[in-house]
């Protein structure tokens, strides 16, 4: 038995040896392709880069295209240069720069191609193309870079640039190579896997001087590049351009959403920059300049800036208190400025006793101080501290359902969640000491520790427009040619507040624009606008101007939030911008162009 097993094992070894010998014979004698390599020819893999997917607006207008360019690639093991100074003069670099580039390429790989000079201009290409045969190891690699049709939406569209070593290390699928371009921010980053396409490969035979001698095996192993998928965004290009025009010279943000879908119609971060600056050979210099700008144009305010919401938060407080049953629409409180300050204009003098709609219309601070006190102090515990903890956490749970306090999940990188304080937050802040409502009352009017992100403000007003639910805000409508909406954005998110209470809020917001704090600059002819002003304290600097609105009241088409830093009252800058945008979107024109100079001038005193 053991002897039979030994014969079998010996037979296996003999068979393996025969197969190996036959393969070696095939490689050395029969296969002409390897004979070519043995005759001092080189089989070289060349990458064929695909066209990156295009980006369109919601109406089919092209936002992002491709333009051809070339990289000069180097394979260090094949480099042979008789006169380095002559080569440096040809390509326009110094000797020390040449040495650094070769050193970097060798560090990446001796046998794989990597970029030596990137994004050559057509003039540079014409100058060196005819001489490359004299310099083995250098290859021209055709590819494309981005071209932005309009100088808008820089932060939302994003940009592409060369992949970093850290990103290469994270590429577990081993798709990318050194020198590849990858989406770094915005839509370009979020939808990279769809936009990038699939690389093709060609195997060429070259002699030792780098001269192409033909295809390896007649292209048997070549693969074609597959273009990336184009995407259709939710953006209205004309509205986006107009919004950016209105925000020119200002700091802040605009976000407009279609309430019935969650599609973002416009998203403005100001100040911004022309996205075409981050393409071509001047990318590095331009990026350095933009990133060092003290106004922070790379900071995507609609997603990353956390602000106090100000009086727009009184709508949230009203809805939460109505649902919790601590007030009714007929609940009255006096405007008692001994509790908290109020603007007390002619239409809203000290001591005025108002119901809920009137309090929202006139943005009465003392009214909402008392609403919040009822919400937090519910007398469920004898200890004011424990009672406040219970009430505050209940309030926090309601507010979170409106999409505040955590990222909404927009399809862009870098979204922040803001902060809605809970009992645990104040426990940490007070370091074990007890606290009560009188310590936290400023959150009643959207001040204090409340922090919200502009995209959340727009989403909130879209929620009011929908009478109690929202869809996750998103920037991409469809991928490829299907035209089908992305399924992950079709889910309704309900607030848990009765729709009847939203009708009360809607009526109040309508009154704000008709005859309250938002009248005049946001009021439109033939369109019923529902809005709420906010003036956010920013001591010692000027206050921030805030306005949220939707229109029309019934079957709303647009919900917008405007936040203008250091621009004073919400009824001025933010309300004027909102009114112009709403009219532009619904009517495609404006009958109130006399407001444009006021907004563009930027003097809101």
**Separation CA 355–CA 373 (nearest Å):** 16
363 close to 343: Cβ distance less than 8 angstroms: yes
pLDDT, tens digit, 9 for 90 and up, residues 182-208: 999 999 999 999 999 998 888 877 666
**Separation CA 335–CA 353 (nearest Å):** 6
- Rounded to a whole number of angstroms, the distance between the first and last alpha carbons of the chain is 104
Q: Give yes or no for a cis peptide into 540 (omega within 30° of 0).
A: yes
Residue 9: pLDDT above 60? no
pLDDT, tens digit, 9 for 90 and up, residues 482-512: 878 888 999 999 999 999 999 999 999 999 9
The stretch 349-368 carries a mean pLDDT of: 90
pLDDT of residue 29: 47
Residue 281: pLDDT above 90? no
pLDDT of residue 235: 98
Look at residues 410, 326, 337 and name the one whose alpha carbon lies nearest to residue 371: 326
Q: What share of the chain is helix, strand, coil (3-state, %, to 5)?
A: 40, 20, 40
Query: What domains are there in the chain, each with its CATH number?
Result: 44-233 (3.90.1310.10), 237-272+299-478+491-601 (3.40.710.10)
Those residues whose C-beta lies under 8 Å from the C-beta of residue 334, and which sit 6 or more positions away, are 351, 352, 353, 366
- pLDDT band at residue 210, thresholds of 50, 70 and 90? low
pLDDT, tens digit, 9 for 90 and up, residues 505-525: 999 999 999 988 767 788 888
**Separation CA 388–CA 408 (nearest Å):** 28
SS3 322: helix
pLDDT of residue 82: 87
22-26, 39-43, 466-470, 544-548, range with greatest mean pLDDT:
466-470
The stretch 301-312 carries a mean pLDDT of: 96
pLDDT of residue 38: 46
Residue 550: pLDDT above 50? yes
Those residues whose C-beta lies under 8 Å from the C-beta of residue 341, and which sit 6 or more positions away, are 365
Query: What's the CA angle centered on 318, arms 312 and 324, to 5 degrees?
Result: 145
Residue 252: pLDDT above 90? yes
pLDDT of residue 16: 57
Q: Rounded to two decimals, what is the model's pTM? A: 0.87
pLDDT of residue 41: 65
* Mean predicted lDDT score pLDDT of the chain: 89
- Output the CA–CA distances (angstroms, integers) from residue 181 to 5, 173, 479, 540, in the order listed: 58, 16, 21, 45
**Separation CA 181–CA 235 (nearest Å):** 25
pLDDT of residue 28: 52
pLDDT of residue 108: 87
356 close to 382: Cβ distance less than 8 angstroms: no
Enter the DSSP assignment of 524.
Answer: B
HSE (CB half, 13 Å, CA atoms) of 413? 14
The stretch 543-549 carries a mean pLDDT of: 93
- pLDDT band at residue 597, thresholds of 50, 70 and 90? confident
Residue 427: pLDDT above 60? yes
Look at residues 118, 222, 115 and name the one whose alpha carbon lies nearest to residue 176: 115
**Separation CA 417–CA 306 (nearest Å):** 8
pLDDT, tens digit, 9 for 90 and up, residues 84-111: 999 999 888 899 999 999 999 999 888 8
pLDDT of residue 426: 96
82-96, 133-147, 390-404, range with greatest mean pLDDT:
390-404
pLDDT, tens digit, 9 for 90 and up, residues 148-181: 999 999 999 999 999 999 999 999 998 998 888 9
Higher pLDDT, 464 or 339: 464
- pLDDT band at residue 30, thresholds of 50, 70 and 90? very low
Kind plus residue range of the DSSP H or E element containing 62: strand 62-74
Look at residues 181, 216, 193, 207 and name the one whose alpha carbon lies nearest to residue 46: 216
88-92, 129-133, 562-566, range with greatest mean pLDDT:
562-566
- pLDDT band at residue 574, thresholds of 50, 70 and 90? very high
Enter the DSSP assignment of 27.
Answer: I
φ and ψ of 134, to 5 deg: -85, -5
The stretch 263-271 carries a mean pLDDT of: 98
């Amino acid at each position: 038995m053991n002897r039979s097993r030994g014969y079998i094992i010996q037979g296996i070894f003999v068979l393996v040896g025969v197969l190996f010998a036959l393969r070696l014979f095939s490689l050395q004698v029969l296969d002409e392709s390897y004979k070519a390599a043995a005759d001092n020819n080189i089989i070289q893999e060349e990458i064929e880069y695909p066209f990156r997917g295009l980006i369109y607006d919601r109406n089919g207008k092209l936002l992002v295209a491709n333009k051809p360019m070339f990289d000069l690639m180097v394979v260090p093991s094949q480099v042979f240069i008789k006169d380095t100074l002559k080569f440096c003069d040809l390509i326009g670099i110094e000797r020390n720069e040449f040495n650094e580039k070769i050193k970097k390429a060798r560090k990446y790989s001796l046998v794989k191609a990597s970029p030596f000079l990137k994004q050559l201009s057509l003039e540079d290409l014409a100058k060196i193309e005819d001489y490359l045969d004299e310099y083995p190891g250098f290859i021209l690699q055709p590819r494309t870079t981005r071209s932005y049709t309009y100088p808008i939406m820089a932060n939302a569209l994003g940009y592409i640039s060369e992949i970093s070593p850290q990103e290469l290390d994270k590429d577990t699928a081993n798709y990318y190579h050194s020198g590849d371009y990858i989406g770094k921010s915005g839509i370009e980053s979020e939808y990279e896997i769809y936009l990038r396409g699939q690389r093709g490969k060609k195997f060429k035979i070259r002699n030792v001087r780098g001269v192409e001698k033909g295809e390896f095996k007649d292209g048997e192993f070549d693969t074609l590049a597959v273009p990336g998928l184009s995407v259709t965004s939710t953006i209205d290009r004309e509205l986006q351009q107009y919004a950016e025009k209105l925000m020119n010279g200002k700091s802040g943000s605009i976000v407009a959403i279609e309430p019935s879908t969650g599609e973002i119609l416009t998203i403005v971060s100001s100040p911004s920059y022309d996205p075409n600056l981050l393409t071509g050979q001047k990318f590095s210099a331009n990026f350095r300049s933009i990133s060092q700008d003290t106004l922070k144009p790379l900071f995507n305010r609609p997603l990353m800036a956390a602000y106090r919401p100000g009086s727009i938060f009184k709508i949230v407080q009203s809805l939460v208190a109505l649902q919790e049953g601590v007030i009714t629409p007929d609940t009255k409180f006096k405007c008692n400025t001994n509790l908290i300050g109020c603007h007390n204009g002619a239409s809203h003098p000290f001591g005025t006793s108002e119901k809920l709609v009137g309090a929202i219309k006139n943005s009465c601070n003392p009214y909402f101080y008392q609403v919040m006190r009822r919400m937090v102090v519910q007398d469920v515990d004898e200890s004011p501290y424990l009672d406040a903890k219970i009430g505050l956490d209940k309030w926090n749970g309601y507010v979170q359902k409106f999409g505040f306090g955590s990222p909404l999940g927009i399809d862009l990188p870098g979204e922040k969640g803001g902060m809605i304080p809970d009992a645990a937050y104040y426990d940490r802040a007070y370091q074990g000491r007890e606290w009560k409502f009188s310590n936290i009352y400023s959150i009643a009017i959207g001040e204090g520790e409340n922090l919200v992100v502009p995209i959340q403000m727009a989403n909130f007003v879209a929620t009011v427009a929908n009478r109690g639910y929202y869809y996750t805000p998103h920037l991409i409508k469809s991928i490829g040619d299907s035209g089908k909406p992305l399924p992950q954005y079709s889910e309704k998110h309900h607030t848990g507040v009765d729709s009847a209470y939203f009708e009360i809020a809607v009526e109040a917001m309508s009154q704000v624009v008709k005859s309250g704090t938002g009248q005049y600059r946001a009021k439109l002819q033939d369109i019923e606008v529902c809005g709420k002003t906010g003036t956010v304290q920013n001591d010692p600097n000027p206050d921030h101007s805030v306005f949220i609105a939707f229109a029309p009241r019934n079957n709303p088409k647009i919900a917008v939030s405007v936040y203008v830093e250091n621009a004073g009252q919400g009824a001025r800058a933010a309300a004027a911008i909102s009114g112009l945008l709403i009219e532009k979107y619904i009517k495609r024109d404006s009958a109130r162009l006399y407001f444009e100079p006021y907004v563009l001038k930027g003097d809101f005193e």
